[in-house]
Amino acid sequence: MLDKQHIIDRFIGYVTVDTESDPKSDTTPSTTKQWDLARALSKELIAIGMKDVTIDQNAYIMATLPSNVSHEVPTIGFISHFDTSPDFSGSNVKPQVIENYDGKDIVLNADKNIVLSPDYFDDLLLYKGQTLITTDGTTLLGADDKAGITEIVSAMEYLINHPEIKHGPLRIGFTPDEEIGRGAHKFDVEKFGADWAYTMDGSQIGELEFENFNAASATVKVIGKIVHPGYAKGKMVNSMYIATEFITSLPMLETPEHTEGYQGFFHLAAIEGKVDETHLHYIIRDHDKDHFEARKAMMQNLCEELNSQYGREVIIIEIKDQYFNMKEKIEPVMHIVEIAEAAMKSIGITPIVKPIRGGTDGSQLSYMGLPCPNIFAGGHNFHGRYEYVPVESMLKATELICKIAEMTASRALTGD
């Protein structure tokens, strides 16, 4: 039986360490404070009895739980990231533990009138009667993905303390900088040595994902001409107006707030503008590879059209691919998804198989030769003040890791 309080204490210990990543940094990890948790984790893994614990010069952590069976079993891995998103402050996190949630509003911060309400976040009602961990309304929580780390460490500890549960060789890996798209960039797949792995980085209990967006970023530079506004007729070219033409020429209903499921989008993430120069920062997302390529072509063609209309180069666009849909790499080895699905059902979890409207380290790792579906970690409302995680979901995720390990060993023995 997993110890609920032990899980709570471990999770709170992780989230109260600030590990916010920084997209403007060119180091790995992108912030030195990520080392604080990385070093603590490597020491903890040694303390609970893990073998081959390593932490490299970029703060990537790996460790092994050796097989306790005599027959040959595939080596499987479990991976999470320890950085938190720069979208919202991760400094001075003050978790609040809500026992036996009653289904009503949760006052996160009375002084600032910040309320977590099921009227707005109706997923809360799924967890009535359970124990929730929330923020105090001034920071994010960090369940993305310190819930995943909590579950992996707790599962390894449980398996070490319960050798009657038979399993093959297990590898675990913790990465920096996933939130800024670099979590897998320096991950040594060969050193990790797993046949396949799972990222514990999903949300709602039951989530099982092997499809994700194809992703690209686009930087659009709009060039104007600045002159004194009193003498501007026929001379001034306001780059912000041209930028507005560009923005409104893209499909206005193909944005994040108007799409769901398999629908892709263009997302204007930031604008910095003056008369003489404006910069637009977009992300481009689509599950379908052909649609993804068409979205990039649409933006490129729009730039060329505006340049033609103005008779000179007023727009310069740079598009960079970020990651691709892991489905292409997972479908040839679908048994790894089937094992996870069967394991969920065996411990009373209803699998929710759906595409990720985002990406994980697993999407990049799959293209690096390590097939890596994504499994729920339990948290909700990531990257903001309303983030929360049900403790019971973390307990189930921990149990699921153990069951996947046990089921993989059993199937290897029977040849299933």
Q: What is the pLDDT of residue 365?
A: 95
Contact (Cβ atoms closer than 8 angstroms) between residue 374 and residue 207: yes
My answer on whether 319 and 338 are in the same domain is: no
- Angle of helix 391-414 relative to helix 143-161, nearest 10 degrees? 50
Instruction: State the residue for tokens 């411990």.
Output: 347
Q: What is the pLDDT of residue 52?
A: 98
My answer on whether 164 and 305 are in the same domain is: no
Q: Percentages helix, strand, coil for the chain, rounded to the nearest 5?
A: 35, 25, 40
My answer on whether 235 and 351 are in the same domain is: no
My answer on whether 146 and 277 are in the same domain is: no
Of 292, 323, 354, the last residue of a domain is: 323
Contact (Cβ atoms closer than 8 angstroms) between residue 35 and residue 17: no
My answer on whether 151 and 79 are in the same domain is: yes
Q: What is the pLDDT of residue 181?
A: 84
Q: What is the pLDDT of residue 406?
A: 98
Please give the positions annotated as active site. 83, 178
Of 279, 305, 323, the last residue of a domain is: 323
Contacts with 289 (C-beta within 8 Å, 6 or more apart), sequence order: 214, 324, 325
DSSP string, 43-56: HHHHHHT-EEEEE-
My answer on whether 129 and 273 are in the same domain is: no
Of 91, 72, 125, 111, nearest to 19 by C-alpha is 91
Structural domain containing residue 233: 214-323
Cα–chain-centroid distance for residue 79? 11
pLDDT tens string 50-61: 999 999 999 999
Cβ burial, residue 336 (10 Å; 0-12/13-18/19+): buried
Token duo for residue 151? 């579950």
My answer on whether 144 and 250 are in the same domain is: no
Supply the CATH number for residue 105's domain. Answer: 3.40.630.10
My answer on whether 319 and 342 are in the same domain is: no
- What total number of domains does the chain contain? 2
Residues in the chain: 416
My answer on whether 73 and 14 are in the same domain is: yes
My answer on whether 152 and 40 are in the same domain is: yes
Comparing 359 with 371, the larger pLDDT belongs to 371
pLDDT tens string 118-127: 999 999 999 9
Report the pLDDT averaged over residues 325-343: 96
